[in-house]
Amino acid sequence: MKKYILFFILIFPFILFSQNEKPEPFGGIDEVVKYFKGNWYVTFLSKPERDDSRGGKGTAVAVEVFNGNAIEITNSMKFLQRLYNTKLFIGFDREEMSYFANLVNDVSYGIAVNGIYKPENNQFVLNGFSANYEKDTLKYSLVIDIVRKDKFIVNLYHISPIKSEKILELGYIKE
């Protein structure tokens, strides 16, 4: 029940004021950068599949970096009465011919992932490891779903041989 209440408080207002047009699949990194660039409202849930999940909301600014080869999304969100900051970099590695993402925040170490863009789903599926290789051997999967021209969702998963768990969900709506 808590999840539904949290959903309506945090996410429902964004749904009311957003567009429903689904964007065309991206043709390359320049189109990816163009899509993400700008100001966004962001909501998030920590460990969304658990009964004790918690969330917050804030804003994000996405700017072009590395001569248009990547986008840097800076999030500033309120969580448990404190400001919580994250940065998400999304780019294209021309040598490996794959997409990459780095996610870092101000309370723990970051992750580095790479993978593919699936045009049929308008989705990035990126896999990798924690930046803290000595202490954390968990694999991570970062899935970015392009829902509409003005909305995307980022899901972060811990992947382990025993159990996989969604640990973070970020929802973005264009300002």
**Over 50: is that where the pLDDT of 67 sits?**
yes
pLDDT tops 70 at residue 11: no
Judged by average pLDDT, the poorest of 44-48, 51-55, 162-166 is 51-55
Spell out the domains of the chain, with CATH numbers in brackets: 2-174 (2.40.128.20)
d(CA 169, CA 75): 13
Burial (Cβ within 10 Å: 0-12, 13-18, ≥19) of residue 25: middle
**Structural tokens at position 131:** 């930046």
For residue 82, the Cα-to-chain-centroid distance in whole angstroms is 20
pTM summary value: 0.81
